[in-house]
Amino acid sequence: MAAIGGNDNVAVKPLVKHVISKELQLYFERICSAILDETNEEFRISAFASLRTDPGLHQLVPYFVQFVADKVTHNLKSLFVLRQMMQLLAALLENPSLYIAPYVASLIPPVLTCLIGKHLGSTSADGPEAHFALRDFSASLLSAIAKQYGQTSGTLKPRIARSCLKDFLDSHKPFGTHYGAILGLRGISGAAGVQTLILPNLKAYDQVLKQGLADEHKKDQAERVALVLLQSLELLEKHSANMTNGHPEGAELKERLTEAIGEVLGARVYESGRAGLVSVVLDKDAAV
């Protein structure tokens, strides 16, 4: 199953007919066909419902996982296919009868691809921002996987966090990748991750944001990233100890915020007028 391992140059088709019954083989083929039928929403809904509830699919799990890996690898320009693959994984994870733990390591690469991939979908066919919904769904899926299986694999969350942090800090990556990386960090590490991984890097990231907001072609995407960063700080505010130290006001406060997290986010935190939000930015050692 080289395709699952992330080797894009090798496509291995599952030899379902040699391993499982004809009945299961037929089921697998029909489910895969229905999921990818863009013309029949009813078929797709029924297929996902079956995957979520059917108790007899144990033997098919590795084949579905490989199917997802293969389709994601070879259909990066089709948001429809990528969405269907993420929904397929979500359905499998929701099925209480399936034992998914042995396949978690193989689930992560396609989910990460749909979360932080550089170019997802076709701008001409999907619109310039349609990929953000896919990244949102992939982030929720990744968070669910980490929450459910993070305890059984001590390296799962740190590996995902490192991957997301690396892409967030890479100024050469597009804003879509930065957006997905921030969502991934937040979903994996929660408020503690925001404090230790995102907050300390905001000042350096400010230049990237300013350049994006000043570029007519990148402005909308940069704005989305600024919004998700502000929401991350709000999550930190929500989970921080409910105490605020005295801070300056007016121009001095705005200057302190700018020094801490840069001009773009510093101005937005200042304009919010929220003492708690100011404190989580300026009191970086506050307990979470």
What was the pLDDT predicted at 3? 35
Neighbours of 148 (CB within 10 A): 13
Q: Is the pLDDT of residue 232 over 70?
A: yes
Residue 102 lies in a domain: yes
Residue 144 lies in a domain: no
What was the pLDDT predicted at 239? 84
130-188 tens-digit pLDDT:
899 999 999 999 999 999 887 777 788 999 999 999 999 999 999 999 999 999 999 99
Residue 145 lies in a domain: no
Residue 119 and residue 42 in one domain: yes
Residue 167 lies in a domain: no
Residue 147 lies in a domain: no
Residue 70 in contact with residue 3, Cβ under 8 Å? yes
What was the pLDDT predicted at 171? 95
Among 97, 115, 132, where does a domain finish? 132
In terms of pLDDT, which residue wins out, 194 or 246? 194
Share of the chain above pLDDT 70, in %: 89
What was the pLDDT predicted at 36? 97
Q: Is the pLDDT of residue 86 over 60?
A: yes
Look at the chain and report how many structural domains it folds into.
2
151-161 tens-digit pLDDT:
777 788 999 99
Range of the domain at 199: 190-288
Read off the pLDDT of each residue in 86-109 and give the average, rounded to a whole number: 95
Residue 2 and residue 81 in one domain: yes
Among 87, 105, 132, where does a domain finish? 132
Q: What is the pTM of this model?
A: 0.89
Residue 173 lies in a domain: no
Range 194-224 burial, b when 16+ CB lie within 10 A, else e: bbebbbeebbebbebbeebbeeeebeebbeb
Residue 23 and residue 119 in one domain: yes
CATH number at residue 109: 1.25.40.770
Read off the pLDDT of each residue in 22-26 and give the average, rounded to a whole number: 94
Residue 119 and residue 195 in one domain: no
Residue 206 lies in a domain: yes
Distance CA 139, CA 187 (A): 7
Residue 8 and residue 119 in one domain: yes
